[in-house]
Amino acid sequence: MKESKYLALYVRTSTAHQKKGSISQQMYLERYCKQNNIENYKVYIDENFSGRLGVNRRPSLEKLITDVEEEKVYKVITVSLSRVSRSLKDLLNIVEKFQQCGCEFESLTESFNINNMHGRLVMSILGAVATLESEIAGERTRIGLQACKEKGIKLGRKKLISDEKIIETAKMTDLSVRSIAKLHGCSPSSVSRILKKHRTQKPCEV
């Protein structure tokens, strides 16, 4: 029954220097509980964890989701959506998991609640944006592959990759270091080293 469940308060900071940040987040969430006469709550804190890390790399978030799945939690609140995740895809997956388990979710500063019309609309928009981002990334990869083929660059894993091939791919495409490494079957660190040496360093994000 809902009465036997508790409210979950999720707090996250990115660095060890943000100790005051985690305290202020917790105080903000506990003030919400006091204002709403909520006494049965539990705090989950991930300190010194990036918001881009997956669930299985953040112990408190992983424990929170497990407790939600075990129907111990009736609602999760946090200060902002970025505390849960800075990855749009991961955020959508986490919120969807809450919904599947019948657990409410609310981000206080953004007045985001998946149980009202506004929250569902925002989730629809975020879902569309995530799909668009995925399609754009896929299109960039396809364009890069086509450009390499037209230039006669052979793709796939090789025993030896010349610096010239790496540099040529970097100059004629917008592919990231990771994508170039994947195309040529070598490590991202090797690509970075070659590009840095020739002063044509590419961004590391996919």
Is the model's pLDDT at 202 over the cut of 50?
Answer: no
- Cα 170 from Cα 198, distance rounded (Å): 11
**Distance separating alpha carbons of residues 175 and 167, to the nearest angstrom:** 12
Q: What is the pTM of this model?
A: 0.61
Rg of the chain (C-alpha set): 22
* Residue, of 144 and 103, whose pLDDT is higher: 103
Q: 172-184, pLDDT tens digit by residue? A: 877 888 888 888 7
- Which CATH superfamily is 2-115 part of? Resolvase, N-terminal catalytic domain (3.40.50.1390)
State both tokens at 26: 């917790």
* Position with higher pLDDT, 190 vs 2: 190
Q: Where are the domains of the chain?
A: 2-115, 140-197
Predicted local distance difference test score (pLDDT) of residue 189: 85
More confident site: 159 or 155: 155
Q: What is the mean pLDDT of the chain?
A: 82
Average the pLDDT over 29-42 and give the result: 96
Better-scored residue on pLDDT, 64 or 3? 64
Compute CA distances 134 → 1, 53, 86, 122, 128, whole Å: 40, 18, 16, 18, 10
Q: Closest by alpha carbon to 91, among 51, 143, 49, 47?
A: 51
